[in-house]
Amino acid sequence: MPASPPDRPALFVVQYRWPLSRDADVRAAYATHRADVDRLGRDGGLWMIGTLPAVEGWSCAMAVFRSEPAARAFRDEDPLFTAGLATPSPVQSWSPLTFQW
């Protein structure tokens, strides 16, 4: 095992959530959210996105980006957030250790 972690490129994570009671509103706004997600994916900044298990009355999701500017654009401009339907976390830097088998 190496004495110190290797240098690895950082990814950037935005977690977000909305009350389970607003699921219908979020589903109604999904097309505009998906268009924003698709744009970020085409631009190469968004790597992956998906839902997480619900926690204590909240639906949860997470998006992983290749660049901090793309993560900030998502957090600041996605229709779910600008419409007040979901609440994003601050952009978090993440340096995962990956394995190739």
Q: With 90 as the cut, is the pLDDT of residue 101 above it?
A: no
- Whole-number pLDDT of residue 5: 59
93, β-bridge pairs: 12
Looking at the domain 11-94, which fold is it?
Alpha-Beta Plaits (3.30.70)
Q: Where are the alpha helices (DSSP H) in the chain?
A: 23-28, 30-42, 68-77, 79-82
61, β-bridge pairs: 16, 51
Domain range summary for the chain, segments of one domain joined by +: 11-94
The mean pLDDT of 40-60, rounded to a whole number, is: 94
Please report, as a single letter, which amino acid is at residue 30: Y
Whether 55 contacts 42, CB under 8 Å: no
Phi, psi of 28 (to 5 degrees): -65, -30
Q: With 90 as the cut, is the pLDDT of residue 17 above it?
A: yes
